[in-house]
Amino acid sequence: MVNQNNRTMRLGLLGLGTVGAGVAQILLDPKGRHPLLTEISLHRVGVRSLHKPRSLHLPPGVLTTDLEALVHDPDIHLVVEVLGGVEPARTLILRAIAQGKHVVTANKAVVARYGAEIFQAAQAQGVYVLMEGAVGGGIPIIHPLKQALGANRLNRVLGIVNGTTNFILTQMAQGRGDFATALATAQSLGYAEADPSADVDGADAADKIAILATLAFGVQVSREAVYCEGIGGIQPVDLSYAERLGFRVKLLALAQRQGEYLDIRVHPTLISQDHPLASVQGVQNAIVLGGEPLGEVMLQGPGAGAGPTASAVVGDVVNVAATLRADSGYHPLLGAPATRPIPQLPMDEVQTCFYTRVLTQDQPGVIGQLGTCFGRHGVSLASIVQIGIHEQLAEIVVVTHQVREGNFWLALAEIRQFPAVADIPTVLRVWS
Ligand code: HSE
């Protein structure tokens, strides 16, 4: 599909809402991203209205309201569908495929219900349909399920796959307002679906777990059969009782094999505070995959919003572009992209915080001497405390702010020479 003389892959974008604008922004500013992005041009952008005010500066003549014409445009190689909702998205995807175009979509509602039809059509036409943005926002989950985890017999997928509801539950649990306030904030941040009931009622999470289960278990999942309960009935008092009992309330999406059956459901669930999913807060999503021989792996990241979802969508675009280039004997994704060499920051220039434990004589003025010495070398201290006595020596623990590593070591070399200093047994860096 890509013109071999002129390597440019021309892209038609359906939808310029939150995610569409994020996609366009990346494509129009490819510097510093994957080199293949410089070979992709944004040819047409299909929108509902030409007159809606937009902050994005698109090349002139790119916008169109004729979505049908876009998917039939012979100059377009790949259609990115980020309209959301079932129709006209499903029909447009099928038309694009019928025209021999590759498709990248973030549309979980369409993939969960019509995935079989769409992938069959794509197979028949010999085109790719990729959908990393449909589940987990910016978390790479579809691609690992299709490829990197292929050696495993997967037996369980368990996750928080809706950012809006996780954001709402986190806000409520932290006493930052009621359900309505938290939902309004989520909407203003671009996390929620156009119709937020899809988030709140669990339908969005049910679409996503249906897609994940299909990939994990290689079976066809009926979306209608996914049990689904939302968070609408949860009261703040339940969140605080759960907390007191050692739990947290999360909207969990689960798919696991139960004998001959697939147990697949979405509902609010109390989960032990010790479980890694319990500490997934705000708009973050996380998915735990269990399999043999892998054991369990958890993937976590921003699950909604323009940037993260656009990151997944454009990742798929790069994937298609790379695969098409592979047909001409060069596979850009098999090696690291060739870029110019870059010098590595010398350790002395690294900026970091430090923790150090110093053993000194227990006498007046020692802490002052340490502080003054660090200060002279430009090392700012976050804290300095004498914790106790260890083998008749005072144990002083120092934590610095972000400092230049070289300065810290110069100060420490001087401190080692102080007559009152017996030993500096530990120096650790602090991640902040
Ligand atoms: N509305 C979805 C969520 C984002 O809150 O997770 C896209 O799937």
Annotated domain spans of the chain: 9-137+306-334, 146-302, 348-431
Q: How many helices (H) and strands (E) in the chain? A: 13, 17
Question: Could you give the CA distance from residue 61 to residue 79 in angstroms, rounded to a whole number?
Answer: 17
pLDDT exceeds cutoff 80 at 32: yes
pLDDT exceeds cutoff 50 at 4: no
Asked if residue 303 has its Cβ within 6 Å of ligand 1, the reply is yes
User: How many other CB atoms sit within 10 Å of the CB of residue 353?
Assistant: 17
**Angle at which helices 163-173 and 179-188 cross, to 10°:** 130
Instruction: Point out the ligand 1 atom lying closest to the alpha carbon of residue 135.
Output: 8
Contact 133, 208 (CB under 8 A): no
Question: Could you give the CA distance from residue 122 to residue 397 in angstroms, rounded to a whole number?
Answer: 63
DSSP bridge pairs for 354: 429
Question: Could you give the CA distance from residue 248 to residue 271 in angstroms, rounded to a whole number?
Answer: 5
Which pLDDT tens digit goes with each residue over 308-336? 999 999 999 999 999 888 777 667 666 66
Nearest CA to ligand 1 atom 7: 304
- Give the fold, CATH level 3, of 9-137+306-334: Rossmann fold (3.40.50)
Contact 135, 208 (CB under 8 A): yes
Which pLDDT tens digit goes with each residue over 342-399? 788 899 999 999 999 999 999 999 999 999 999 999 999 999 999 888 889 999 999 9
* Nearest to 102, CA basis, from 130, 143, 133, 74: 130
* CATH node for 348-431: 3.30.70.260
Q: How far away, in angstroms, is 303 Cα from ligand 1 center?
A: 7
Nearest CA to ligand 1 atom 8: 304
Per-residue confidence (pLDDT) for residue 3, from 0 to 100: 44
Residue of 105, 135, 162 with the most ligand 1 atoms within 8 Å of its CB, for mutation: 162
Residue of 131, 139, 199 with the most ligand 1 atoms within 8 Å of its CB, for mutation: 199
Strand, helix or coil for residue 41? strand
CA distances from 75 to 72, 158, 159, 316 (A): 9, 42, 40, 20
Looking at every residue in the chain, the average pLDDT score rounds to 92
* Cα 321–Cα 41–Cα 208 angle in degrees, nearest 5: 55
Q: How far away, in angstroms, is 290 Cα from ligand 1 center?
A: 23
Question: What is the percent of the chain where pLDDT is above 70?
Answer: 95
Asked if residue 183 has its Cβ within 6 Å of ligand 1, the reply is no
Asked if residue 163 has its Cβ within 6 Å of ligand 1, the reply is yes
* Nearest to 314, CA basis, from 27, 109, 63, 91: 27
Q: How far away, in angstroms, is 52 Cα from ligand 1 center?
A: 24
DSSP bridge pairs for 358: 396
Q: Please name the helix (run of DSSP H) or strand (run of DSSP E) that holds residue 70, with its range, or none.
A: helix 67-72
- Read off the pLDDT of each residue in 108-135 and give the average, rounded to a whole number: 96
* Nearest to 215, CA basis, from 137, 122, 134: 134
Instruction: Point out the ligand 1 atom lying closest to the alpha carbon of residue 167.
Output: 5
Q: How far is CA 32 from the centre of its chain?
A: 19
Instruction: Point out the ligand 1 atom lying closest to the alpha carbon of residue 19.
Output: 7
- Read off the pLDDT of each residue in 179-192 and give the average, rounded to a whole number: 88
pLDDT exceeds cutoff 90 at 55: no
Instruction: Point out the ligand 1 atom lying closest to the alpha carbon of residue 166.
Output: 5
Rg (CA), the chain: 27
More confidently predicted of 338 and 27: 27
Q: How far away, in angstroms, is 165 Cα from ligand 1 center?
A: 9
Asked if residue 114 has its Cβ within 6 Å of ligand 1, the reply is no
- Give the fold, CATH level 3, of 146-302: Dihydrodipicolinate Reductase; domain 2 (3.30.360)
Which pLDDT tens digit goes with each residue over 209-262? 999 999 999 998 999 999 999 999 898 889 999 999 999 999 999 999 888 889
- Read off the pLDDT of each residue in 271-293 and give the average, rounded to a whole number: 96
Per-residue confidence (pLDDT) for residue 341, from 0 to 100: 72
pLDDT exceeds cutoff 50 at 26: yes
Asked if residue 26 has its Cβ within 6 Å of ligand 1, the reply is no
Question: What string of DSSP letters covers 333-380?
Answer: TTSPPP----PPPPGGG-EEEEEEEEEE---TTHHHHHHHHHHHTT--
Asked if residue 164 has its Cβ within 6 Å of ligand 1, the reply is yes
Which pLDDT tens digit goes with each residue over 78-116? 999 999 999 999 999 999 999 999 999 999 999 999 999
Contact 76, 12 (CB under 8 A): yes
Q: How far away, in angstroms, is 139 Cα from ligand 1 center?
A: 12
- Read off the pLDDT of each residue in 136-140 and give the average, rounded to a whole number: 96
Per-residue confidence (pLDDT) for residue 387, from 0 to 100: 85
Question: Could you give the CA distance from residue 4 to residue 61 in angstroms, rounded to a whole number?
Answer: 25
pTM of the model: 0.87
Per-residue confidence (pLDDT) for residue 396, from 0 to 100: 95
pLDDT exceeds cutoff 70 at 293: yes
Question: Could you give the CA distance from residue 255 to residue 108 in angstroms, rounded to a whole number?
Answer: 16
Q: Which residue in 101, 108, 208, 250 is the catalytic one?
A: 208
* Nearest to 22, CA basis, from 137, 103, 184: 137
Q: How far away, in angstroms, is 267 Cα from ligand 1 center?
A: 16
DSSP state of 58: P
Asked if residue 166 has its Cβ within 6 Å of ligand 1, the reply is no
Per-residue confidence (pLDDT) for residue 388, from 0 to 100: 83
* Nearest to 166, CA basis, from 131, 137, 132, 133: 137
Catalytic, 208? Answer yes
Per-residue confidence (pLDDT) for residue 1, from 0 to 100: 46
Per-residue confidence (pLDDT) for residue 340, from 0 to 100: 67
Question: What string of DSSP letters covers 143-188?
Answer: HHHHTTTTTSEEEEEEEE--HHHHHHHHHHHTTS--HHHHHHHHHH
Contact 25, 33 (CB under 8 A): no
Q: How far away, in angstroms, is 244 Cα from ligand 1 center?
A: 29
Where does 60-125 show beta strands of DSSP type E? Answer: 63-64, 78-81, 102-105
